Amino acid sequence: MGKPHLLVHDHEDNVGVVVVEGLTAGTDMLCVVTADNSDFTLTANADIPIGHKVALRDLSTGDTVMKYGEDIGKMVGGANKGDHVHTHNCKTKRW
pTM for this entry: 0.95
Strand stretches in 34-83, DSSP E: 38-43, 53-55, 64-67, 70-75
pLDDT (0 to 100) of residue 95: 74
User: Where would I find the H helices in the chain?
Assistant: none
pLDDT (0 to 100) of residue 94: 86
Fold of 6-92: 2.30.130
pLDDT (0 to 100) of residue 7: 98
Residue among 90, 66, 69, 88 at smallest CA distance from 15: 66
Q: What is the pLDDT of residues 36-71, one digit of tens each?
A: 999 999 999 999 999 999 999 999 999 999 999 999
Q: What is the pLDDT of residues 75-91, one digit of tens each?
A: 999 999 999 999 999 99
Domain ranges of the chain: 6-92
